[in-house]
A and B are shown apart, each in its own frame.
Chain A
């Protein structure tokens, strides 16, 4: 019991919460960037532009099929060979964005495809260009369908930031490791804290996603 009280001293709790803040910071920035890049890539893949869409599609498939951990290593240890030397937090954001953009691109593509073909044809027949029809008619409907999938992707992004601990990003998992590194008796309390904190953040978001999903449909 004394171990638990010592493990959760104010200093340690504050340190853990600072880690949680970095976790959320990395996740939010990455999800915003991924949303932008993912949308562009998804639309390109959907648009069937000769060669371009195929190449984009293939790159997306490759990124979706390798472990995020590999992308994190590649960003942090590989980029310096090309003269780029990102700090740990930017490296984590780059890696997460590369990975999540591909995930979101697939969501966007299948979201657009789920809007009936008649919508596009109807819009085009009123004289709209392809881009206008996409922007004003198809995309608003597609994004409405995508909200739950994107939120669940956001939840997995938050969980995945824990992997960034391997390049010593000062996020929650890393901070927990620093705390239990001082005293082995803190290991169990720290894992309990990690489980609870991640669960609360992710589960709350999942519920919000479900509510929005039900509300929209």
Chain B
């Protein structure tokens, strides 16, 4: 295991870099998209609620691999050429945004109605109340589940291996097929994933205990 790491350390670290980069980009955009759809789901307008809900349910109930392969194979055929990393990151973003939307929606709904009414009664518009009163409280509640979503994101980024995204999983396969030492190649990569995911998981568990 140490041998494999010593021999392929630069390749593995590049893989780790792509994995983390893809996860961070996907987290950033899925937070934006997720927040937009979460707000749509709690708006007074029924049409908006239906659209928000439909997006979330569609993305949540289709495998990530199907979404990712769609962007890898179908989009280049009909729309625009994109590489594996981009296709994978777009797939990850859309898939994760649905879970983040659900998390944030439940956060918004757990903020008491009185907050919105109170804010409105001071003369704020709906959007001002949402922006300055409701969302800050909602985000505070949902930090631990969002952290867990990020852990899922890092794990899920392994689908990049299907689309030649040069991530950690892709490098693991390439090392395993050149050295034939499958056990140690996958063990090393497992440890590298854990170095990223385990501290976040434990910290989120600590936060959950502190908040709840």
Interface residue? B211 (CB, 8 A):
no
B53-68 Cβ-contact flags toward A at 8 Å (1 or 0): 0000110111111100
- Chain B contacts for A73, CB-based, 8 A: 172-173, 176, 182, 186
Q: Kindly name the residue among A62, A73, A195, A198 whose own CB sees the greatest number of chain B CB atoms within 10 A.
A: A73
The reply to whether B66 and A194 form a contact with Cβ atoms under 8 Å apart is yes
* B contacts with A: majority SS: helix
The reply to whether A202 and B66 form a contact with Cβ atoms under 8 Å apart is no
- Residues of A in contact, count (CB < 8 Å): 34
Interface residue? A4 (CB, 8 A):
no
- Chain B contacts for A61, CB-based, 8 A: 198, 201-202
CB interface residues, B 172-199, toward A, < 8 Å: 172-173, 176, 182-183, 186, 189-190, 193-194, 197-198
Interface residue? B69 (CB, 8 A):
yes
A73 to B176 alpha-carbon distance, docked (Å): 10
Interface residue? B24 (CB, 8 A):
no
A197-217 Cβ-contact flags toward B at 8 Å (1 or 0): 011001100100000000000
- Chain B contacts for A206, CB-based, 8 A: 57, 60-61
- Chain A contacts for B65, CB-based, 8 A: 162-163, 165, 173
Q: With A74-B186, A160-B63 known to touch, is A64 a contact of B201 (CB < 8 Å)?
A: yes
A61 to B193 alpha-carbon distance, docked (Å): 12
**Chain B: CB-nearest residue to A164:** B65
- Chain B contacts for A77, CB-based, 8 A: 176, 182, 186
The residue from B61, B74, B169, B198 contacting A70, defined by CB atoms under 8 A apart: B169
- Chain B contacts for A155, CB-based, 8 A: 61
A68 to B158 alpha-carbon distance, docked (Å): 9
The residue from A65, A166, A199 contacting B155, defined by CB atoms under 8 A apart: A65
Of the listed stretches A7-15, A28-36, A116-124, A184-192, name the one at the interface; the rest are far from the partner chain. A184-192
Q: How far is the CB of A53 from chain B (nearest CB, A)?
A: 16
The residue from B64, B151, B159, B183 contacting A78, defined by CB atoms under 8 A apart: B183
- Chain A contacts for B73, CB-based, 8 A: 180, 187, 191
- Chain B contacts for A67, CB-based, 8 A: 155-158, 169, 193
Interface residue? B127 (CB, 8 A):
no
A61 to B204 alpha-carbon distance, docked (Å): 13
Interface residue? A5 (CB, 8 A):
no
The reply to whether A191 and B69 form a contact with Cβ atoms under 8 Å apart is yes
The residue from B66, B172, B189, B198 contacting A65, defined by CB atoms under 8 A apart: B198
The reply to whether B201 and A191 form a contact with Cβ atoms under 8 Å apart is no
The reply to whether B66 and A195 form a contact with Cβ atoms under 8 Å apart is yes
- Chain B contacts for A163, CB-based, 8 A: 63, 65, 159
A69 to B69 alpha-carbon distance, docked (Å): 16
The reply to whether B183 and A81 form a contact with Cβ atoms under 8 Å apart is yes
- Chain A contacts for B155, CB-based, 8 A: 65-68
A155 to B169 alpha-carbon distance, docked (Å): 24
A163 to B65 alpha-carbon distance, docked (Å): 7
A212 to B39 alpha-carbon distance, docked (Å): 27
Complex A-B: 15 CB contacts under 8 Å: A66-B155, A67-B156, A67-B169, A69-B159, A70-B189, A73-B173, A81-B182, A173-B63, A173-B66, A187-B77, A191-B70, A191-B73, A199-B58, A203-B57, A206-B61
What is the interface of chain B, defined by CB distance below 8 A to chain A? 57-58, 60-66, 69-70, 73-74, 77-78, 151, 155-159, 161-162, 169, 172-173, 176, 182-183, 186, 189-190, 193-194, 197-198, 201-202
